[in-house]
Structure 1
Amino acid sequence: MTGVFDSLRKGSRWPNVVLLLIIGLAFFALIYLVWTTVEAEREERLQTRQTALVIDELAELESAALNAETGQRGYLITLDRRYLASYEDGRAQYAPTLRRLRNLLGTNATVRQSELLDQMAQFAGEKFTEMERSVLLVQDGRLLDARRAILSDEGQIAMERLRRSMREMEEIERALLAEQAEDTARLEARILPLLGGLVLLLIVAMVLGSRLVRRAAKAEAKAAQAAEVGEARDRADLLARELNHRVKNLFAVVLAIVQMSSRDKPEAKPVTDSIAQRIRALLTAHEVSQGELDRELASLEALVETSLAPYRSAKHVANIEGPEVLLPAKRITPLGLVFHELTTNAVKYGAWAHGGTIDVSWKKSADKVTLVWRESGVTIGGEPERKGFGSLL
């Protein structure tokens, strides 16, 4: 019984392991969820900062082109060299601005952004080349040629292309920022349901844990009770063995009294011998039924073997055959007496008295056992003159 409860306690470890795994997975899922949300917010902040810097650099590039164009036009109209200061500032500003813009996008730039950077560098170069050519023409005194160059719309076309590239670059950056913001919002919108699910999972795990604790406590209580029952059973077995020993001693005392009774009266010896043999048969049946205290049933084969054993030898041959049959305790004593009478009859008058053989066999059906006692090597002369104790049995 204790082994059963031990196995139950060992088997209950698996639910505990599963429960711990669930709690651990929930904990790691919560950490992962928080980490992904924080990471998304960090990336959104970085994208916001980058978008703002890109827009500032684009505005700086446009401002450089406009300042240079304003200085060029003012110098062409007024021939005042002070306007060349704005032109020179814009010319000196646009190349570093393009470099900063390219470094700002770096390897994170999309394919289209890389193309736009190349286009802006090309269009800005064309615009500043056109402005530089017209300024040089004015400085050389070729004012009409300078005005014709301006009226050719070459610079205006380059400026429009530059502006379109810058606007597209700005739209791409704003789209990237909006996409990152949507991802962050999606994660933030998902975190509350997931947190609720995780909390529910933890509550379920706690409930299951409390149930497992109660089951473990019950199992321990049953194990303790089983231990007490085992101790009581051991005490009962000890008492049963002691009682069995006393009963055997009682049989021995009774047998000794019967045998001593024939000493003073020799004419009573046949009667006392018969009584003694029957007492021995009862003792044999008792030993068979009490041979194993842990069993409530006794083996039919063991009972037959024990009954034949006192007389069985090389001259007295017996064959025993049959399936395993367990007899209830109430059947052992009468069957033991029957087998004793059959055995003594075989020794005195039957097969063993004439060198024959005893064959004992039995068959087992659904609800009964059929036993056959067959003696060979002897001839029965006729009906017996009287019926003894064996016939009565």
Structure 2
Amino acid sequence: MRWPNAVLLLLIGGAMLGLIYLVYQTVEAERAERDQSQLTSDIIEELQRVHTAALNGETGQRGYLITLDRRYLRPYQEGSEQIEPALRRMRDLLGDNATTRQQELLDEIDALSRAKFAELETSVLLLEDGRLLDARRQILTDEGQETMERLLRALGEMEEIERDILAEQARDTARIEGRVFPLLAGLIFLLLLAIFLGSRLVSRAARAEAEAAQAAAIGEARDRADLLARELNHRVKNLFAVVLAIVQMSARDKPEAKPVTDAIAQRIRALLTAHEVSQGELDRELASLEALVETSLAPYRSSKHVATISGPEVLLPAKRITPLGLVLHELTTNAVKYGAWSANGEIDVSWTRDDGLVTLVWKETGVKLDGEPDRKGFGSLLMESAARQFGGSVKREFSADGLIVTITAPDSDMPSLATGEPRT
């Protein structure tokens, strides 16, 4: 797995964990909001009961004062019965979660409620004793009205605090939910990106599999082609052997033709040598120039026939090996018959590669030659024809000490390797 894919998977995993955490927080926040909403609703309901109880008590007091009919005391009696349970339930609902201000207000509401009903009870008792004027004077002191106003303010503030707490809880929930959606969008983007990259990986894998199958098919085809080429190479060698045998047998009964058949046989052997150099390794499209020179000199090379070979490793296209091999064969046989090796001289073969050309220099020393022949023999014509085939030239220079032959060929398709040392 490449590192961008690993990073992407890590990002997706991290985003999913973050999303799970935020979803959990959102669920918890919504649950807390629901609980707070229910709690606020219950507290407000109890506040309203306290308020209603106080109003009922005051209403019953006023009705009894005006009519002196005890039936009008029923709201007062109901309010007296409702106030204590409402205050107790309110304390239970707030519990330990009440803020300092809520606790203060709760104590104040408790005290004011008790004070209000104590004031109402006093006036009712005065009325029951027949002290109507005292009851009216007690009511007209505005003590009850002031207590009622303070109670209503405390109830209102308590309700406002509860509504603020509920609103803050709702804001927290909305804030948490607001973080979920961007992360969810990012996760969706990462998932889409992962799907896209996954499809690319699948496509690459399928393409690689197809290429592997194609490569396997090509390999099988190449193996079959190599097998056929090896078989053809074997048959070509056999054909050379048959032709060589026919040439040699043709001169058996005609001694006067033996020089001609020997020359033909030698050239056939040269072709066979060039073929072996160019087709020695069928999986290579190039052949070594050094191997060609070594093979051409090998049949005649000995301690008396000394040859030095030097030059960089140069690979020739197989199609150029055969004509160049014929040229080297002609030079070798001429050296044995007329040149350096006929007089215990030496041969030096070297080549260079420069400025787009491969230049091979064949130098024979230790033999005195009479100069360039007046006419060109078959060997000279053969070398010129071969030079045209490999796209180069063959130039001969005769001197008092020997012969120098310069062979040039373009170096296209001839990659050079390491420089070789002279070989003797």
Q: What range is the shorter-chain TM-score in? A: 0.5 to 0.7
**Which of 348, 360, 368 is the matching residue for 1:380?**
368
Relative to structure 1, the CA distance from residue 121 to residue 183 in structure 2 (aligned partners, 3 Å threshold; closer, same or farther) is same
Cα deviation digits, residues 255-309 of structure 1 (max 9, x gap): 2333445555555544443332221111011111212223333232322222123
Cα deviation digits, residues 75-110 of structure 1 (max 9, x gap): 999798x7884565255224413313303xx65x7x
- Does structure 2 conserve the Cα–Cα contact (< 8 Å) formed by 1:319 and 1:360? yes
Aligned residue type for 1:147:
Q
Which deviates the most, 20-29 or 283-292?
Answer: 20-29
Aligned residue type for 1:320:
S
In the other structure, the counterpart of 1:291 is: 280
Q: In the aligned structure 1, how far is the partner of 2:140 from the partner of 2:303?
A: 143
Q: How does 1:28-177 map to 2 (within 5 A)?
A: 45-67=34-56, 85-86=77-78, 88-103=80-95, 107=97, 114-129=100-115, 131-132=117-118, 147=138, 151-152=142-143, 155-156=147-148, 158-172=150-164, 175-176=167-168
> More helix per residue: 1 or 2?
1
Report SS of the residue matched to 1:324. Answer: strand
Report SS of the residue matched to 2:314. Answer: coil
State the TM-score, normalized to the length of structure 2: 0.63
Relative to structure 1, the CA distance from residue 46 to residue 214 in structure 2 (aligned partners, 3 Å threshold; closer, same or farther) is same
Q: CA deviation at 1:56?
A: 1.4
The answer for unaligned runs of 5 or more in structure 2 is: 384-424
Cα deviation digits, residues 105-160 of structure 1 (max 9, x gap): x65x7xxx55234323234324524654885799799968x938963465245314
Q: How does 1:271-282 map to 2 (within 5 A)?
A: 271-282=260-271
Matched, 1:309 2:298: yes
Relative to structure 1, the CA distance from residue 169 to residue 287 in structure 2 (aligned partners, 3 Å threshold; closer, same or farther) is same
Relative to structure 1, the CA distance from residue 88 to residue 273 in structure 2 (aligned partners, 3 Å threshold; closer, same or farther) is same
Q: CA deviation at 1:373?
A: 2.1
Aligned residue type for 1:162:
A
Aligned residue type for 1:378:
G
Relative to structure 1, the CA distance from residue 65 to residue 50 in structure 2 (aligned partners, 3 Å threshold; closer, same or farther) is same
Relative to structure 1, the CA distance from residue 384 to residue 185 in structure 2 (aligned partners, 3 Å threshold; closer, same or farther) is closer
**Which of 308, 314, 320 is the matching residue for 1:324?**
314
- Does structure 2 conserve the Cα–Cα contact (< 8 Å) formed by 1:363 and 1:370? yes
Q: In the aligned structure 1, how far is the partner of 2:285 from the partner of 2:115?
A: 117
Relative to structure 1, the CA distance from residue 355 to residue 361 in structure 2 (aligned partners, 3 Å threshold; closer, same or farther) is same
Q: In the aligned structure 2, how far is the partner of 1:363 from the partner of 1:181?
A: 83
Cα deviation digits, residues 196-215 of structure 1 (max 9, x gap): x969x87x969x95x98888
Aligned residue type for 1:175:
A
Q: How does 1:195-210 map to 2 (within 5 A)?
A: none
The answer for unaligned runs of 5 or more in structure 1 is: 1-9
Relative to structure 1, the CA distance from residue 332 to residue 177 in structure 2 (aligned partners, 3 Å threshold; closer, same or farther) is closer
Cα deviation digits, residues 331-364 of structure 1 (max 9, x gap): 2211001111222333442268435341321214
Relative to structure 1, the CA distance from residue 33 to residue 198 in structure 2 (aligned partners, 3 Å threshold; closer, same or farther) is farther
Number of aligned residues: 364
Relative to structure 1, the CA distance from residue 215 to residue 89 in structure 2 (aligned partners, 3 Å threshold; closer, same or farther) is same
**Which of 343, 351, 356 is the matching residue for 1:361?**
351
Relative to structure 1, the CA distance from residue 128 to residue 223 in structure 2 (aligned partners, 3 Å threshold; closer, same or farther) is same
In the other structure, the counterpart of 1:345 is: 334
- Does structure 1 conserve the Cα–Cα contact (< 8 Å) formed by 2:270 and 2:296? yes
State the TM-score, normalized to the length of structure 1: 0.67
- Higher RCO (CA < 8 A, seq sep 6+): 1
Q: How does 1:192-231 map to 2 (within 5 A)?
A: 227-231=216-220
- Does structure 1 conserve the Cα–Cα contact (< 8 Å) formed by 2:56 and 2:78? yes
Q: In the aligned structure 1, how far is the partner of 2:45 from the partner of 2:141?
A: 29
Matched, 1:252 2:241: yes
